[in-house]
Amino acid sequence: MYIYKDKKGQALLTNVSPKGTNFGKYTKQVKVTYYKNNASNNNDYSSNYGSNSYSNATASSSRSRDAYDSYIRASAARHGVDPALMKAMMHTESAFNPNARSPVGAQGLMQLMPATARRFSVSNPWNPAENIEGSAKYIAWLMRRFNGNVEHAVAGYNAGEGNVDKYGGIPPFKETRNYVKNVMSRYHTLYKTDAGLYGNAMSASNNAPTSSLRNVSYGTSNNNASISYSNVNANANQAYAALR
């Protein structure tokens, strides 16, 4: 977004750089927000978000950083979501604070907006089990929506799936780009290899899934890996019931 002013102080707001005689009087550039397209005019803003581009992340200092792992494991197993991705998102969203509330009204550990909570049948977003279950449903839905592209799903969680569609990838919003970078850095360097999040419920594999496994693709713009998760079993369902 460009903001220009003429000599009289009249402002012009536009999403393109003003050119031509019709814009001649707007000579003072006041502000430019968001990111310009690159030289090739490629609308896929995820081109620089491959797994190799993420720096090491700092571990959380929160005393409750591992308190919700059982909730994450149960909901992740139920909906075919990578538990490490969920924990990286929780770290970024709420810093593991179950009472976190954003200035715009996002609530709980994974910061569900009220409309999103209703959409995924979360009646009490302050209940960690319900909040995490709703978040897992939303992430699974986003992964299906964006054909397994984890970075686009993460961007959609932050900025809304409509903006990912609009920009053909990660939207050019500074907040969203930083969010994706932080989530993916934490995913790759803190939680992806955390055995406590997986146990026997997950096995990394590029082979075709057997009848007892559900294949979930976590390919990114530069990484087409896949991960296989065990189907939900009675123990996972009992764990979720106990958490509620």
Q: Which residues are catalytic?
A: 93
Q: Which of 232, 225, 210, 237 lies closest to 51, judged by CA? A: 225
199: left (phi over 0), alpha (psi -120 to 50) or beta: left
Segment holding 117, helix H or strand E: helix 114-119
62: left (phi over 0), alpha (psi -120 to 50) or beta: beta
- Token pair of 108 as six digits: 């709980």
Q: How far apart are CA 164 and CA 182, in angstroms?
A: 18
Q: How far apart are CA 6 and CA 15, in angstroms?
A: 17
Q: How far apart are CA 244 and CA 234, in angstroms?
A: 16
Q: Do the Cβ atoms of 216 and 209 come closer than 8 Å?
A: no
| Cβ atoms < 10 Å from Cβ of 115 | 8
